[in-house]
Amino acid sequence: GIQVEQSPPDLILQEGANSTLRCNFSDSVNNLQWFHQNPWGQLINLFYIPSGTKQNGRLSATTVATERYSLLYISSSQTTDSGVYFCAVERRSGGSNYKLTFGKGTLLTVNP
Amino acid sequence: DTEVTQTPKHLVMGMTNKKSLKCEQHMGHRAMYWYKQKAKKPPELMFVYSYEKLSINESVPSRFSPECPNSSLLNLHLHALQPEDSALYLCASSEQGLRAFFGQGTRLTVV
């Protein structure tokens, strides 16, 4: 199956700092999404971004599908950005699979 | 409305109990999912329903039994679980292969 690697595994920032999270995947994908899991377990969908660049407030994401990686940028970080950031991908091989494979995540801690 | 609602939020059950987890969405999505997540691990896919039919079963033990009564509802019936089944159970929905939305999850403890 497809492999998803996220880096760094852990990241500690001071409030106001910027950061870049990376997701590498082992094969071409039809679907790539970024999620934020808050300390209560809720998974929030940040971006659906199989290719290209998107921005949403202080967050932006870029996927370079031909080079098999995606980046999530967090600017002016806030303590509420703390949690685990997951990249998830899907490679469809015929039929209707809709199977998302998650990376191991990046644990972000933003200190005040 | 981009909400997926799961009930209950917390559940403690004995190994001989039968219980059910419920999931509901009103976004018109035709794909619904159950994931299991252990502490400090990523979510792992258990089941996928597409157009109310089971399309993926990731070799899940039969003590977990999914059900999709209609396009808005997804249940997970639990019976004779083991302590190692304690985890966060997440439901999600999506339009076919597009952006997935997750519920808040059910924290299950098997005693």
pLDDT at A101: 92
- Best mutation target, A5, A38, A43, to test chain B (most B CBs within 10 A): A43
d(CA B15, CA B9): 19
Whether the bond into B83 is cis, omega within 30 of 0: no
Q: Average pLDDT of A58-72? A: 97
Q: Say which of B45, B88, B107 has its CB closest to residue A100.
A: B45
Q: What is the pLDDT of residues A25-59, one digit of tens each?
A: 999 998 999 999 998 899 999 999 999 999 999 99
* pLDDT at residue B3 tops 80: yes
Q: ∠ at Cα B65 (B64, B69), nearest 5°? A: 145
Closest residue in B to A85 (Cα) is: B42
Polymer length of chain A: 112
Confidence of residue A98 (pLDDT cuts 50, 70, 90): confident
* pLDDT at residue A64 tops 90: yes
d(CA B75, CA B20): 7
* pLDDT at residue A96 tops 60: no
pLDDT at B98: 87
| Residue A45 contacts B where some CB pair is shorter than 8 Å | yes
Closest CA to A25 of A91, A96, A109, A75: A91
Confidence of residue B58 (pLDDT cuts 50, 70, 90): confident
pLDDT at B1: 58
Averaged pLDDT of chain A: 94
The position carrying tokens 């600017």 is A75
pLDDT at B96: 76
Q: Average pLDDT of B65-74? A: 96
* pLDDT at residue B57 tops 60: yes
Secondary structure class of B85 (helix, strand, coil): helix
Positions of E strands within chain A: 4-7, 10-14, 19-25, 31-37, 43-48, 52-56, 59-64, 69-74, 83-90, 101-102, 106-111
Q: Average pLDDT of B18-32? A: 95
